[in-house]
Amino acid sequence: MVSHVEKTFPKEGCGLMIGSDGLVQEAVPLPNTYTGPQEDFFVIDPQDLHRVDRESRDRGLDVLGVFHSHPNCDAYFSKRDLQHSCPWFSYVVLSIKNGRFDHANSYRPDFDQTEAPKEELTYG
């Protein structure tokens, strides 16, 4: 995850996290398909999501969440993140400062895209 979003810096990088029972086993980097300036926005192509979902399903794994970076910005869940969020996934936000990983947080948005409580991240 970190190496992908350090590479995409100063643009936002993104991808999916797959695993099982809430434990992330793999990160799948995906292209940011936003056609405007990518320094502060990302879009995952639904076709990519569809494909990763199908492939992980075949391997007995689940798509657990989404990760994306905030270049030169803290790892908060922004208004934009909330407006485009989906409550089915956990969202890991990585703060990349000057091209290097700084810190990360995870959030779980609600149905109405009004709140996203922070989740505890444990590293195993």
Closest separation between CB of residue 3 and other proteins, Å?
A: 20
Name the phi and psi angles at 73, rounded to 5.
Answer: -155, 150
For residues 27 and 63, which CB has a smaller minimum distance to other proteins in the complex? Answer: 63
Structure tokens at 87: 């409550």
Q: How far is the CB of 4 from other proteins (least distance, A)?
A: 15
Cα separation, 17 vs 44, in Å, equals: 13
- Applying CB under 8 A, the residues found at the interface with other proteins are 12, 14, 34-37, 40-44, 46-47, 49-50, 53, 56-57, 62-64, 66, 68, 70-71, 73-74, 76, 78-89, 91, 111-113
Q: In angstroms, what is the minimal distance from the CB of 89 to other proteins?
A: 6
Q: Which is nearer to other proteins, 37 or 124 (CB)?
A: 37
Tokens matching residue 63: 């798509």
Nearer to other proteins, 2 or 73 (CB): 73
For residue 82, the minimal CB distance to other proteins (Å) is 8
Give Cβ neighbours of residue 124 (< 8 Å, ≥ 6 apart): 23
Going 96 to 52 to 20 to 25, the CA torsion angle's sign is: negative
Closest CA to 92 of 113, 107, 80: 107
